[in-house]
Amino acid sequence: MDMQKNQYNVLFACSELTPWVKTGGLADVSGSLPHALRRAGAEVKIVVPGYRAVLDQIDRPQYVCHLDLPLGPVAVCCTSLAGTEVLLVTHPVFSNRNGNPYMSDDDRAWPDNPYRFALFSQAVSEIGLNRANLDWQPDIVHCNDWQTGLTPALLSLSHQRPATVFTVHNLAYQGNILYNAYKELELPDALFHADGLEFWGQASFIKGGLAYADRVNTVSPGYANEIKTTEFGAGMEGMLNSRGERVSGILNGIDEEEWNPETDPYLKQNYTADSIDLKIENKIALQQRMKLPVDKDIPLLGSISRLAIQKGIDVLIDAIKAMPDERFQLAILGAGETDLQSQLSQLADRYPEKVAVRFGYDESLSRAIEAGSDIFVMPSRYEPCGLNQFYSLRYGTVPLVTRVGGLADTVFDVDSSDTKKDQKNGIVIDAATTEHLVDGIQRALVHYNDKAQWKALQRTGMRTSYSWNRSASEYIALYAKAIGDNLNRMSVTRYANV
């Protein structure tokens, strides 16, 4: 574990991974950041649970070893993804189920999720300690979200261990379980205290990452500041403040090859910033696909979202109801809460010429909405980073967002006097309320009618780079700090033991 070298060995642990298994942006980050880290000189192995959906998509994974973990035996296999090695932790709790990583097909969380992700975290810790027959010692174990939160905590029990980084993609999902359930999992008592996993009497998986990782980061500088406040801290603000400068923000990037309107195979018509007039073909195709009246001139709003309180879809529904006479269309694709689904269905029934909704996870339709819409609406109540605003900017679809988290860091309002003209790329509202959103949509509609200005906005978005290059270097710098912290800890404890 040499602090001087740049070529760190990085074990990147995640619970979803594009293109194999995705419920949200975490999968896209896991499927693109590791490749960018490799380009920046790191040697990276990704580790992910061997879900049925993953095993079905890969050709003969290679057997690596068995691990006899406290929670049971798992097999580790390996394969590769775009040149990056991927380790699969296989066990029937992952491989014998349909549905997504966290829920069954009828949208119910698997009751044994604490067991599944404690098992996964134990496996990641063993691989991190070079006990998986790989002859490979990571310098850094980089964990992501609550599903891997126990790993930094478990590793903290070993004196000689790799450095750990924990990235918060969403603080609201915490993996909290009753103390009895924690005892049943026979997880170490030594970790259950106020400065450790304990959270209001329960055990919190995410707190394992927040409390024990050498460095903690979130996916935008804006959200890094927000989560230290009561409003956005989800009860973890005290712990986060106590970690001081060890908590930082690094803005997500995107895979610019994967999300490129010039080459995207899902699009009816490919286009670039210079041939932006061709984008209209995608609008017509989207109107046809969503069974909305075909009309080149009517502003078409799009939204692709997990249907969750975070995303402000309820606010969008209320805003649409508050503007019955305004001329626009809305195409929404969403998966998630059934109550929001039924509210959206009712909205589409009430305004069939104006609103079209589709439910479920649909990659092809999501690309069609990104390319075919004029305006992309994200009225999030909070947003750690958000990826759809990047995809929209890249596709010349002007984003309309709330001024929170990563959205505030990436979208700059067309009417703002603080922003330089050549940086203006969208519409920003102050908060996720009906009044603000109605105002934001009305402003967007006015600007849409000024064709020259609208094209300038679109081109600014399309010509800006959102690649991982800069952020990958920031992660490498963060790894160096984490390694430094870990070396200090080891030398201090060694000294204390003399």
- Binding residues for ligand ADP, rule: CB under 6 A, are 24-25, 28, 304-306, 333-335, 361-363, 366, 385-388
Query: Which phi and psi (to 5°) does residue 241 adopt?
Result: -65, -35
Task: Among 16, 139, 255, 383, indicate the residue that binds ligand GLC (CB under 6 A).
Answer: 383
Task: Among 21, 29, 87, 247, indicate the residue that binds ligand GLC (CB under 6 A).
Answer: 29
Task: Among 385, 408, 438, 483, indicate the residue that binds ligand GLC (CB under 6 A).
Answer: 385
Helix (H) or strand (E) segment spanning residue 471: helix 469-497
Cβ proximity of 40 and 19 under 8 Å:
no
Q: How far apart are CA 170 and CA 377, in angstroms?
A: 20
Window 247 to 276, contacts with ligand GLC (CB under 6 A)? 252
Q: How far apart are CA 74 and CA 47, in angstroms?
A: 13
Task: Among 76, 387, 476, 483, indicate the residue that binds ligand GLC (CB under 6 A).
Answer: 387
Q: Which stretch binds ligand GLC (CB under 6 A): 25-33, 149-157, 208-216, 418-426?
A: 25-33
Write down the least CB distance from residue 420 to ligand ADP, Å: 26
Write down the least CB distance from residue 253 to ligand ADP, Å: 12
Best CA proximity match to 474, nearest among 216, 163, 251: 251
| SS3 (DSSP) at 353 | coil
Write down the least CB distance from residue 34 to ligand ADP, Å: 17
Residue 192: Cβ within 10 Å count: 16
Task: Among 187, 216, 219, 457, indicate the residue that binds ligand GLC (CB under 6 A).
Answer: 219
By CB under 6 A, is residue 386 in contact with ligand GLC?
yes
Pick between residue 25 and residue 128 the one whose CB is nearest to ligand ADP. 25
By CB under 6 A, is residue 320 in contact with ligand GLC?
no
Residue nearest to ligand GLC (CB): 25
**The entry of ligand GLC, ligand ADP, none that residue 219 binds, CB within 5 to 8 Å by partner kind:** ligand GLC
Cβ proximity of 169 and 144 under 8 Å:
yes
Write down the least CB distance from residue 379 to ligand GLC, Å: 14
Pick between residue 191 and residue 250 the one whose CB is nearest to ligand ADP. 250
Pick between residue 139 and residue 409 the one whose CB is nearest to ligand GLC. 409
The residue to which tokens 């979208």 are assigned:
411
Pick between residue 279 and residue 394 the one whose CB is nearest to ligand ADP. 394
Q: Which stretch binds ligand GLC (CB under 6 A): 38-46, 290-298, 380-388, 436-444?
A: 380-388
Which residues fall within 8 angstroms of residue 226, CB to CB, at 6 or more apart? 232, 233, 382, 404, 405
182: phi > 0 → left, psi -120 to 50 → alpha, else beta; which?
alpha
By the 10 Å C-beta count (0-12 exposed, 13-18 middle, 19+ buried), 132 is classed as: buried
Give the per-residue contact string, 394-433, with ligand GLC (x = CB under 6 A; - = no).
------------x---------------------------
Best CA proximity match to 375, nearest among 256, 286, 468: 286
Q: How far apart are CA 184 and CA 203, in angstroms?
A: 12
Q: What is the DSSP string of 186-212?
A: T--GGG-STTTTEETTEEEHHHHHHHH
Write down the least CB distance from residue 306 to ligand GLC, Å: 8
By CB under 6 A, is residue 25 in contact with ligand GLC?
yes
Strand 198-199 relative to strand 202-204: parallel, antiparallel, unpaired?
A: antiparallel
Q: What is the CA radius of gyration of the chain?
A: 23
Write down the least CB distance from residue 85 to ligand ADP, Å: 24
Pick between residue 252 and residue 397 the one whose CB is nearest to ligand GLC. 252
Window 170 to 189, contacts with ligand GLC (CB under 6 A)? 170
The residues binding ligand GLC (CB under 6 A) are 24-26, 29, 169-170, 219, 252, 383-387, 406
